[in-house]
């Protein structure tokens, strides 16, 4: 080693300069419960049973989602639409009970793909909340069916669309996508 | 008069004691914050705003853990270890001059726990005692790893104390006084010792890292080799005391470094500020405020060195034990002796020469 290297102090000073640089660097941490990151348009989060434009449930209880489900998380009971319920259900047959076992679900999205009526979706903007009780495991229609006052849409499908959405949001225009954390 | 003096001294010592504890407490928070920032993380930020209640939460946790004493440990010594570590760590802060004087009702109070004319010797004595806490704790644990850690701590502290003392001798030759108050007063007006003793400062700094058992010299608690070192068997608040004593030692040695080399409570432009304040607010209030500013400056310096300790800890890797001993005995001690010779020659020949040139 040269004298400079054996003196050890210049090397220490270099190292200290590097760590000091990191000290003042912007932190990459996203403080999760307060700040949530936008996970992209194809993220598969909590389930939703869509309604159509008139507010009628799209699901016709064909059972294809339950068949497609590799984890066998979905179960349903079909019922026939009565007279006067045309405003509630789009098809003549509907799901009287539609349950997803959230401990079994692996969020693979095969139910979405199997659905012929575009009724079941996995939201890209919401997680299944943490639960600790047995009776919170199985989600029924009360939790799954879409709320017409707070409809679920997916606006940005590609990176470019996401970027233009960011621009829109920066201009203060209303969007349906949860704001992206700026890391 | 005797009684008032006693009360004043008691109060000063209490304030110094509480301040030391408080700073040590928040050093633990600072350590974790600095570690986080250096590693591009946030550090603790859940307990209170900015994680400021984290030390309280940690202390609460420590207190509620089971206070365990191993069956084969020597019970009394096992308790004496952390107590001694705490005691010696806290003793040293008594002689540090935190500021000049405080005027109240015609009485001048020195902002220093004990005005000792052998202050620096006292500090050295107490710091040398510090190794007993570790040694006793490690031995009493009845565990090979604890004992090895304790032996390492003892030999490391003793080795580095030599170089530390030698580097200090150069300062003492210049100041010709052992009193910390005098050493600080002599550095008045930008006359800081760091400008005269850069080599001595580097040696002193290195040795104080070793004395505090801090990275890169934290071999006594080297977890890759010794599990936890001397505090392997410790838990609950006894472990807390060991860790806490380390932080107190850090603060005390930072304070000593800023006292010896960075002019303590002196700062550039101090006389101007003093004159302005006394002219504006009278000799009592102005003097007191000037003292407070000086104390603030002193704490700023000390806290910078506490930060420096942390900064080094999260930058450098640990030394190997033979490297540590080589550095201590073969490099630092010869360097310190050379430093003494140079200082002696300068004091004898250079100083009269320069003063004759100036006059």
Q: How far apart are CA B250 and CA B30, in angstroms?
A: 12
SS3 A108: coil
For the segment A19-38, the average pLDDT, to the nearest whole number, is 82
Nearest to A22 among B38, B312, B316 (CB): B38
Q: What is the DSSP letter of B189?
A: T
pLDDT at A41 over 80: no
**Does some domain include residue B33?**
no
- B88 and B244 Cβ atoms separated by less than 8 Å: no
Report, as ranges of residue numbers, the positions in chain B whose pLDDT lies below 50: none
Question: What is the extent of the structural domain holding B195?
Answer: 63-358
SS3 B96: coil
For residue A119, the surrounding DSSP H or E stretch is none
- Cβ of residue B40 closer than 8 Å to a chain A Cβ: yes
- Cβ of residue A10 closer than 8 Å to a chain B Cβ: no
Q: Is A115 annotated as a binding residue?
A: yes
pLDDT number for residue A7 = 75
**Does some domain include residue B196?**
yes
Q: Do B312 and A25 touch (CB under 8 A)?
A: no
Q: Is A65 annotated as a binding residue?
A: yes
Q: Do A18 and B315 touch (CB under 8 A)?
A: yes
Q: What SS3 string covers A30-61?
A: CCCCCCCCCCCCCCCCCEEECECCCCCECCCC
pLDDT 10s digits, B144-186: 888 888 888 888 888 888 888 898 888 888 888 888 888 888 8
Q: What is the DSSP letter of A102?
A: T
pLDDT number for residue B304 = 92
pLDDT number for residue A100 = 92
Q: How far apart are CA B252 and CA B118, in angstroms?
A: 17
pLDDT at A87 over 60: yes
Nearest to B311 among A16, A25, A31 (CB): A16
Distances (CA, A) of B322 to A157, B27, B152, B159: 61, 30, 11, 12
Distance of CA B304 to the CA centre of its chain: 12
- Structurally, chain B folds into a number of domains equal to 1
Contacts of range A174-178, beta carbons closer than 8 Å, 24 or more positions apart: A176/A151, A176/A152, A177/A38, A177/A125, A178/A36, A178/A38, A178/A125, A178/A126
Residue A183 — pLDDT band, cuts 50, 70, 90?
very low
Strands (E), chain B: 97-104, 107-112
SS3 A76: strand
SS3 A80: strand
Query: What phi and psi, each to the nearest 5 degrees, are found at residue A180?
Result: -80, 135
Interface predicted TM-score (ipTM): 0.75
Nearest to A27 among B41, B202, B312 (CB): B41
Boundaries of every domain in chain A: 47-151
For the segment A46-70, the average pLDDT, to the nearest whole number, is 90
Looking at the domain covering A47-151, what would its CATH class be? alpha beta
pLDDT number for residue B246 = 87
For the segment A132-155, the average pLDDT, to the nearest whole number, is 84
SS3 B309: helix
pLDDT number for residue A76 = 92
Give the bridge partners for A74, in sequence order: A100
For the segment A139-145, the average pLDDT, to the nearest whole number, is 89
**A-proximal residues of B, 181-210, CB under 8 Å:** 202
**Does some domain include residue B4?**
no
- Cβ of residue A28 closer than 8 Å to a chain B Cβ: yes
Chain A partners within 8 Å of B38 (Cβ): 19, 22-23
pLDDT number for residue A182 = 40
- Cβ of residue A21 closer than 8 Å to a chain B Cβ: no
Q: Which tokens in the block code for residue B137? A: 């704790």
**Does some domain include residue B38?**
no
Indicate the average pLDDT of chain A. Answer: 83
Chain A partners within 8 Å of B315 (Cβ): 12, 15-16, 18-19
Q: Do B41 and A29 touch (CB under 8 A)?
A: yes
CA neighbours closer than 13 Å in the CB half-sphere of residue A118:
6
**Does some domain include residue B14?**
no
B52 closest CA partner among B65, B70, B33: B33
pLDDT number for residue B320 = 83
B270 closest CA partner among B305, B302, B296, B306: B296
SS3 A172: coil
**Does some domain include residue B32?**
no
> Who contacts B47 (Cβ-Cβ below 8 Å, separation ≥6)?
B53, B54, B56, B57
pLDDT 10s digits, B201-253: 999 999 888 888 887 888 777 777 777 778 888 888 888 888 888 899 889 88
Q: How far apart are CA B214 and CA B318, in angstroms?
A: 9
Is the whole model's pTM more than 0.90, yes or no? no
**Does some domain include residue B99?**
yes
Task: List, as one string, the DSSP characters of B211-261.
Answer: HTT-TTS-GGG-HHHHTTGGGTT--HHHHHHHHHHHHHHHHHHHHHHHHHH
For residue B336, the surrounding DSSP H or E stretch is helix B333-345
Distances (CA, A) of B337 to B166, B200, B209, B264, B334: 7, 10, 20, 25, 5
Q: Do B38 and A31 touch (CB under 8 A)?
A: no
SS3 A120: strand
- Cβ of residue A3 closer than 8 Å to a chain B Cβ: no
Q: How far apart are CA B173 and CA B169, in angstroms?
A: 6
- B271 and B190 Cβ atoms separated by less than 8 Å: no
Name the residue with tokens 């300068």. B346
Overall size of chain B counted in residues: 359
For residue B191, give how far its alpha carbon lies from the nearest alpha carbon of chain A (Å).
25
């Amino acid at each position: 080693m040269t004298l400079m290297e054996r003196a050890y102090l210049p090397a220490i000073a270099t190292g200290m300069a590097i760590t000091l640089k990191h000290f003042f660097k912007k932190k990459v941490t996203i403080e999760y419960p307060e700040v949530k990151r936008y996970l992209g348009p194809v993220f598969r989060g909590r389930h939703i049973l869509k309604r159509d434009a008139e507010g009628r449930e799209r699901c016709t209880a064909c059972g294809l989602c339950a068949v497609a489900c590799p984890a066998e998380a979905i179960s349903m009971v079909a019922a026939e639409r009565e007279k006067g319920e045309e405003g509630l259900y789009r098809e003549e047959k509907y799901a009287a009970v539609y349950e997803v076992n959230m401990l079994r679900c692996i969020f693979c999205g095969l139910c979405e793909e199997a659905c012929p009526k575009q009724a079941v979706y996995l939201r890209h903007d919401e997680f299944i909340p943490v639960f600790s009780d047995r009776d919170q495991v199985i989600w029924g229609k009360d939790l799954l069916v879409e709320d017409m006052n707070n409809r679920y849409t997916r606006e940005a499908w590609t990176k470019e669309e996401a970027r233009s959405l960011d621009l829109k949001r920066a201009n203060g225009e209303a969007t349906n996508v949860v704001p992206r954390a700026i890391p | 008069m005797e009684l008032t003096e006693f009360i004043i001294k008691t109060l000063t010592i209490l304030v110094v004691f509480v301040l030391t504890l408080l700073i040590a407490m928040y050093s633990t928070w600072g350590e974790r914050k600095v570690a986080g920032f250096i590693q591009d993380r946030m550090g603790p930020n859940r307990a209170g705003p900015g994680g400021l209640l984290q030390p309280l939460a940690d202390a609460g946790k420590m207190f509620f853990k089971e206070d365990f004493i191993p069956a084969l440990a020597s019970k009394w010594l096992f308790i004496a270890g952390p107590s001694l570590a705490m005691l010696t760590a806290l003793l040293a802060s008594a002689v540090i001059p935190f500021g000049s004087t405080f005027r109240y009702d015609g009485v001048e109070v020195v902002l220093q726990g004990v005005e000792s004319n052998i202050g620096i010797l006292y500090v050295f004595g107490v710091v040398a005692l510090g190794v007993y806490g570790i040694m006793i704790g490690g031995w009493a644990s009845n565990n090979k790893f604890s004992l090895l850690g304790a032996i390492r701590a003892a030999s490391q502290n003793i080795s580095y104390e030599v170089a530390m003392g030698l580097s200090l001798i150069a300062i003492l030759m210049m100041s010709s006084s052992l009193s910390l108050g005098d050493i600080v007063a002599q550095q008045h007006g930008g006359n800081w010792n760091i400008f005269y003793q850069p080599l001595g400062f580097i040696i002193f700094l290195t040795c104080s890292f070793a004395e505090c058992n801090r990275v890169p010299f934290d071999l006594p608690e080297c977890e890759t080799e010794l599990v936890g070192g001397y505090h392997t068997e410790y838990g609950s608040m006894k472990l807390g005391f060991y860790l806490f004593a380390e932080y107190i030692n850090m603060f005390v040695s930072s304070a000593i470094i800023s006292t010896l080399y960075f002019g303590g409570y002196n700062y550039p432009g101090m006389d101007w500020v003093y004159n302005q304040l006394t002219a504006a607010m009278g000799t009592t209030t102005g003097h007191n405020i000037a003292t407070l500013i000086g104390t603030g400056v002193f704490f700023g310096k000390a806290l910078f060195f506490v930060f420096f300790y942390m900064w080094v800890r999260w930058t450098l890797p640990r030394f190997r034990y033979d490297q540590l001993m080589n550095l201590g005995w073969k490099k630092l001690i010869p360097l310190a002796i050379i430093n003494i010779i140079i200082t002696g020659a300068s004091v004898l020949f250079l100083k009269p020469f320069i003063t004759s040139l100036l006059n």
